[in-house]
């Protein structure tokens, strides 16, 4: 596959879009397949794939996106990119915060995890 790199975008930026962006899109579109009335829980939301997941979830019309990150700066970043909730996973009560943000998030995350569990297990 060959994609022309637009002016003003570096090779590294273009590479990130094709690898991390397509990974995020594939996870949402074909893995999780969230419905408009569902929520998604995005772990490592300030990482390469996570940043795309936050934005794509919003663009795909997901009801609520709950983003997990490990610092105030990262939480602020994911909020500016569209996360409805930003929770610091280094805090002891982060699970309770996720549950409070949206009780559906656990079910949605479990649905995603169950689809990928056989693939993840095969890696060990």
What is the secondary structure of 51-79 as a DSSP string? HHHHHHHHHTT-SEEEEEESSHHHHHHHH
* For residue 123, pLDDT beyond 80: no
Q: pTM score, two decimals?
A: 0.75
Give me the domains of the chain, ranges plus CATH numbers: 11-122 (3.40.50.720)
Q: What is the DSSP letter of 110?
A: H
Cα gap 24→30, rounded to integer Å: 10
Residue matched to tokens 């919003």: 58
- pLDDT tens digits for range 29-59: 998 898 888 889 999 999 999 999 999 999 9
**Distance (Å, whole) CA 78 – CA 95:** 18
């Amino acid at each position: 596959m060959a994609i022309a790199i637009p002016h003003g975008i570096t090779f590294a930026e273009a590479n990130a879009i094709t690898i991390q962006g397509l990974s995020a899109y594939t996870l949402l579109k074909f893995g999780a397949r969230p419905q408009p009335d569902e929520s998604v829980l995005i772990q490592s939301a300030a990482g390469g794939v996570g940043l795309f997941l936050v934005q794509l979830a919003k663009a795909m019309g997901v009801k609520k996106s709950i983003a997990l990150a490990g610092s105030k700066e990262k939480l602020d970043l994911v909020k500016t990119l569209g996360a409805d909730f930003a929770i610091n996973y280094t805090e002891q009560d982060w699970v309770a915060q996720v549950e409070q943000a949206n009780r559906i998030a656990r079910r949605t995350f479990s649905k995603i995890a169950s689809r990928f569990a056989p693939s993840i297990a095969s890696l060990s």
